[in-house]
């Protein structure tokens, strides 16, 4: 395998070149420091340049993309250019680790729902929203049942979720999905307001790392905030969770430590990515969901 990897490196495979000591920053030139590799079942973590293209030609495509995104009903051209520039976009995000605001300025199309789905499929070969929602719907009844069995400090929050389901028009699919997600977080021993927060409880001066902020409109809407930058707006909470997973993959972000079990469930149960290597807590939940 070592010889095989050497041959691939000689052919210019980006996933191997990126960890060469000579290609690291001066303060990171140690063999085991800052290793960049797929962590969550990404198939195209660092793809090579398309045949016949250079970084210069693809940069010209990126600049043209900034103009195309301003035009109406231009989804086909945007999708083509995003697919074409996928390699330099990944190189920039993985190697340079820019701030979210910088990525949004350079790659605004990456923050549109359609392109988040496309990007996720390029990275994992799995459809994002259809897979996430299908598995969420499949497991919702069991999640709500498990949630109801939870006691202790989570009990008051569970009562609030149960009351939400009893309210007028609460039987909508979006409400049931949101209740299942909130119940899942509580069942895993984490706090639902660490992920989903009411806009009235948000400090204007805070720079939320990863947060879904809900409004009290009718129907309630949500926006996704990463590093203090609003990246998605006017969507429901379940869809915000699915698209947030897509953005975490697209932006090569780590899961929040205080929600690592929740995001592991999103990845390994709802999206079925690397599902055989789950933690004990997630494997236990998976077993209970299948009973």
pLDDT tens per residue, range 45-97? 999 999 999 999 999 999 999 999 999 989 999 999 999 999 999 999 999 99
- Hey, what long-range contacts does 132-139 have (CB within 8 A, 24 or more apart)? 132/241, 132/242, 132/245, 132/266, 132/270, 132/271, 133/177, 133/238, 133/242, 135/269, 135/270, 135/271, 135/272, 136/177, 136/180, 136/181, 136/238, 136/270, 137/173, 137/177, 139/180, 139/269, 139/270, 139/289
Question: Taking the model in full, what pTM does it have?
Answer: 0.89
Q: What pLDDT, on the 0 to 100 scale, is given for residue 36? A: 72
d(CA 222, CA 211) in angstroms, rounded, equals 10
Burial pattern 144-172, b for ≥16 Cβ within 10 A else e, equals: bebbeebeeebeebbeebeeeeeeeeeee
* Segment 189-205, tens digit of pLDDT: 999 999 999 888 776 54
* Segment 106-142, tens digit of pLDDT: 999 999 999 999 999 999 999 999 999 999 999 999 9
Q: What pLDDT, on the 0 to 100 scale, is given for residue 150? A: 82
Asked if residue 186 lies in contact with residue 172, where contact means CB atoms within 8 angstroms, the answer is: no
């Amino acid at each position: 395998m070592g010889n095989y990897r050497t041959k691939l490196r000689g052919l210019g495979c980006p996933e191997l070149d990126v960890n060469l000591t000579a290609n690291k920053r001066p303060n990171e030139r140690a063999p085991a420091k800052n290793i960049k590799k797929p962590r969550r079942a990404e198939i195209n973590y660092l793809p090579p340049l398309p045949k016949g293209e250079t970084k210069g030609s693809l940069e010209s495509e990126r600049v043209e993309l900034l103009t195309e995104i301003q035009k109406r009903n231009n989804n086909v051209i945007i999708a083509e250019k995003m697919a074409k520039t996928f390699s330099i976009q990944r190189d920039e995000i993985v190697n340079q680790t820019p701030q979210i605001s910088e990525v949004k300025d350079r790659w605004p199309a990456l923050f549109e729902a359609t392109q988040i789905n496309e990007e996720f499929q390029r990275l994992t070969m799995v459809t994002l929203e259809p897979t996430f929602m299908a598995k969420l719907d499949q497991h919702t009844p069991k999640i709500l049942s498990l949630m109801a069995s939870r006691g202790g400090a989570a009990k008051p929050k569970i009562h609030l979720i149960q009351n939400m389901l009893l309210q007028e028009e609460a039987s909508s699919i979006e409400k049931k999905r949101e209740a299942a997600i909130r119940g899942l977080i509580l069942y895993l021993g984490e706090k639902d307001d660490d992920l989903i927060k009411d806009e009235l409880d948000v400090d204007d001066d805070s720079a939320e790392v990863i947060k879904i902020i809900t409004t009290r409109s009718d129907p309630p809407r949500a926006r996704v905030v990463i590093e203090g930058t609003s990246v998605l707006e006017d969507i429901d909470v379940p869809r915000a969770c699915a698209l947030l997973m897509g953005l975490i993959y697209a932006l090569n972000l780590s899961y929040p430590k205080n929600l690592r079990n929740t995001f592991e469930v999103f990845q390994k149960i709802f999206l079925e990515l690397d599902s055989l290597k789950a933690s004990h807590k997630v494997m236990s939940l998976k077993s209970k969901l299948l009973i």
